[in-house]
A and B are shown apart, each in its own frame.
Chain A
Amino acid sequence: MTELTFIAQLGIYAMMFVVLAAAVAAVTLRNLFHCALALAGVLIGVAGMYLAMHAEFLAMVQILIYVGAVMTLIIFAIMLTQRLGAGDVAQNNKQSLFGAVAAAGFVVTLGGILWKTPWPVKEEAVTSSFSASDLGESLMTTYVLPFEIIAIVLFAVLIGAIVVARKDAPKGAEQ
């Protein structure tokens, strides 16, 4: 089956390349809607990377939440704040060169360290399986406190976003 492994590896490297190209497009294109679509491409590609790492549940959740909900939010915001057919203005501010140098320096430094570190890869971690029911069990036993806290955080975000984005002033402001 080494031919299938080879085809799979080829596919995964191609996917990584496409994701990086889409990420570069997402930060440099002038038309904001095209940037948002490039971000959707990156998110789907990252879900593919999760599938390559045998985390299927996480991949599906990534598509459901990021591509289904967060992208909808971003595109709604783009539609409400851009006029149709607005001209393409320059998107980068005057710090482009310094930003590029900083990012490149970061990659060189961290990449060099990552490449040379001997990571302790454990065989049983690679072959273990993690199913949705294991996830449910961990969330309900070991990680129940973060689970409850994140429920409160999401509730606060829901109310906060509605209050911030509301159209009319609260009635008490007029008196």
Chain B
Amino acid sequence: MDQLFVGIKTALLSMLGTFMPDWLVTVHSVLISATGIAIFGPLTMMYLTLIERKVVARMQNRLGPNRVGKFGLLQPVADGIKMLTKEDIVPYKADKLLHLLAPITIVVPALMVFAVLPFGRGMIAADLNVGILYFLAVSSTTTISIFIAGWGSHNKFALLGAMRAVAQMVSYEVPMVLSLVPALMIAGSLSTGAIVAAQAERWFAFTPWGFVAFIIFYLCGVAEVNRSPFDLAEAESEIVAGFHTEYSGMKFALFYMAEFMNTFTISALAATIFLGGWHGPFLPSWFWFLLKTYILIFVMIWFRGTLPRLRIDQLMGLAWKFLLPMALVNVVVAGFWYMSSGVIRTFGSIACLVVAFMVLTALNRPYVPEKREYTFAEN
């Protein structure tokens, strides 16, 4: 049961090997993995839209979509048909090439990251030995596509929204990379398979530095995906939906799809690097991986239903003034953890991290102006 998908792929390849030369079998092995990802990615995204609408609805004390199909399960199909048949409006003076290029360049990196996710024991599509760096590099190209979307819309508000979104994404990339550094230091490798293998006895999230790194990575991930509470740049009630104001129909569907695939990818990576990947008793490995990923996605949807949006200066202040110093202290504490042993390392690291947290919250108190004195006129 655990090796169900690996077994299917091996059977398919041996069936093909009977009448194909060897090199074509290699090409087909790559194609089978790629097809699997190409089916799984958009299918996940479709049902994630449904899960998000139903969960947010239940949190708001109402039912979600439940008319199309039993429990609303055919709603994503209806949504897809709607988006495909909508008219594709391009603004008059907009640059047509740029307007078309933006949704494409935002979906391709979102789908490319699926190649390094360890879905189960022996189920990575491409076990690169620079896997994590591949994820960071590919997800940093999203900033250019947001710029292209903003500039190609020929709309001042879209441009402003795009600049805010890029400023947010660039500032949250730095704590994200720094929060991954302790996990890479302790695992000793950049490959996702090796990081999962290094968590066989103890998940990284159960160590002091790993817990802090997990929280920082998760928050930065939520900000990178532009979800609530960090979705100032693209929410419908802010700046007229930001950089995707002028998009309709299939192009908007591509933006939406990229956002949900990024959600899945960030949760999957947080589960891989900090929550032990596919490790777990009894049940098959891919089931544990998907369970952990979907729990983290549920927490993201919970954030959306509960927390209010952050203002742009609060958002940037959080990244630069709090998360970045915390991530730096975390790297040092992880090094200390690796070098020492016994009871001193637990208490020492927890003490360092708690002290750093208190110092940072004390230094970042918001500015409260002093109360004004009102003198009322005498009548």
| Chain A interfacial positions (CB closer than 8 Å to B) | 1, 3-4, 31, 33-34, 37, 40, 56-57, 60-61, 63-64, 67-69, 71-72, 75-76, 79, 84-85, 131-133
Contact = CB atoms under 8 A, between A and B. Distances in A.
Contacts of A71: 143-144
A60 B137 contact: yes
A158 to B, nearest CB: 12
9 contacts: A1-B23, A3-B24, A33-B151, A60-B134, A61-B137, A63-B137, A67-B137, A68-B137, A72-B144
B173 A68 contact: yes
B138 A63 contact: yes
A63 B140 contact: yes
A131 B129 contact: yes
Given A69-B140, A72-B144, A84-B154, A132 B130 contact: yes
Given A4-B26, A56-B129, A75-B147, A64 B137 contact: yes
B156 interface: yes
B148 interface: yes
B245 to A, nearest CB: 14
Given A33-B95, A37-B101, A85-B154, 10 more contacts: A1-B22, A3-B23, A4-B26, A56-B128, A56-B130, A63-B141, A67-B144, A76-B163, A76-B166, A132-B130
Nearest to B166: A72
Nearest to A129: B129
B154 to A, nearest CB: 6
Contacts of B98: 33, 37
Interface string B161-174: 00100100010010
B206 to A, nearest CB: 26
Contact of B170 (A34, A63, A69, A79): A69
Contacts, number: 77
Given A56-B128, A57-B133, A131-B129, A68 B151 contact: no
A85 B138 CA distance: 30
B151 A132 contact: no
Contacts of A68: 137, 140-141, 143, 173
Contacts of B136: 60, 64
Nearest to A68: B140
B144 to A, nearest CB: 6
B159 interface: yes
Contacts of A60: 130, 133-134, 136-137
A59 to B, nearest CB: 8
Contacts of A85: 93, 154
A37 B137 CA distance: 17
A132 B190 contact: yes
A37 B99 CA distance: 13
Given A84-B154, A131-B129, A67 B163 contact: no
Contacts of A133: 188
B144 A75 contact: yes
B255 to A, nearest CB: 18
B185 to A, nearest CB: 10
Nearest to A5: B23
A79 B143 contact: no
Contacts of A56: 128-130
A76 B169 CA distance: 14
A10 to B, nearest CB: 14
B133 A64 contact: yes
Contacts of A31: 95
